[in-house]
Amino acid sequence: MIGEKPKGVRAHLTVVYPALMLAIFFIVPFGLMAAVSFFHRQPGGFYVTGFELTNYINLYTALFGRTLLFSLLLAGLSAAVCVSIGFPFTYFITRMKRRAQVVWLVLLMSVLSLSEVIVGFAWSLLLSRTAGLSNLFVWLGLIARPVAWYPGFAALLFGICYLAFPYTVLVLYPPLSRLDPALPEAALTLGASPLRTFFTVVVGSLRNAIVAAFVMVFVFTLGAYLLPQILGRPRHWTLSVLITDAAIYQTNMPLAAAMAIFFMGVSLALVVLTMMIGKGKKVKAI
């Protein structure tokens, strides 16, 4: 019964409503935006239907190139940091007793419920000179005077990793909790050190999950809009900021649309590339 081909109108009826909703409210807006990217922008903010490549040509500026590159690098770095910390973290969580796991998961869910703007606000306080962590360090005698650690690239990276961390854990949780405990045990019994076991057995058997988590955080971070403005300097502003700026403040929808389409193309290409590299060779059965 399960997994058979749908027969008749009634069977297909289930999927009509979701497909229709997604078609009308997602595909159409998307197509519309793609079309707008070819429209002609009139001075004063309006745009008329047309077909021209001006907007795409106008992308070819130093600002756009630099911002695109920065956004990609920031995303890649945050993904690397999040997964490097999140993977062992989630692994430890999944090895705990059920009860302990629930406590950790509830903590993570509570952190997840913090909005991007609040995360930015909280970290701007924590990294400020007057009320931040540096005061704690002064009190502990580690540094001489309190110092402001924001705005700056490190602050931004920190904030983004913080924001993406609960999602990283949630994505890694299912595969890690399903990892057969017998596998690392077997490696340990055969004489491998715990560190070696971790890297060769645990990381090795979950490569796909790690790649998936990396891609997820990468894409998630690409969308950062508020944090770069709160925790970073203008040179740290990402493409999302630039696009919104063009759309709302410069009322240049066609340009914004062109930037968005280009942005999407580049991210999609990188995602596909990462997944191809990540999947690797298939292991031959013995």
Token code pair at residue 165: 């961390």
Total residues contacting another protein by CB under 8 A comes to 90
- Are 108 and 127 within 8 A, CB to CB? no
CB of 243 to another protein, least distance (A): 5
Here's the x/- map for another protein, 20-39, by CB under 8 A: it reads as -xx--xxxxxx-xx--x---
CA atoms of 118 and 159, how far apart (whole Å) = 10
Listed residue (89, 261, 226, 269) closest to 170, CA to CA: 89
Segment 38-57, which members bind another protein (CB under 8 A)?
Answer: none
Q: Which is nearer to another protein, 18 or 44 (CB)?
A: 18
Pick from 67, 78, 94, 168: which binds another protein (CB under 8 A)?
Answer: 94
Q: Does 67 bind another protein (CB under 8 A)?
A: no
Amino acid (one-letter) located at 213: A
Q: Does 240 bind another protein (CB under 8 A)?
A: yes
Q: Is 150 exposed, middle or buried (0-12, 13-18, 19+ CB in 10 A)?
A: buried
Token code pair at residue 114: 């913090």
CB of 200 to another protein, least distance (A): 16
Token code pair at residue 137: 């360090």
Token code pair at residue 1: 């019964």
**Other C-beta atoms lying within 10 Å of the C-beta of residue 217:** 27
Segment 168-187, which members bind another protein (CB under 8 A)?
Answer: 170, 173-175, 177-178
Q: Which is nearer to another protein, 137 or 153 (CB)?
A: 137
Residues in the chain: 286
CB of 57 to another protein, least distance (A): 20
Q: Does 97 bind another protein (CB under 8 A)?
A: yes
Segment 192-231, which members bind another protein (CB under 8 A)?
Answer: 194, 216, 219, 222-223, 225-226, 230
Pick from 53, 117, 154, 269: which binds another protein (CB under 8 A)?
Answer: 117
Phi then psi for 120, rounded to 5 degrees? -60, -45
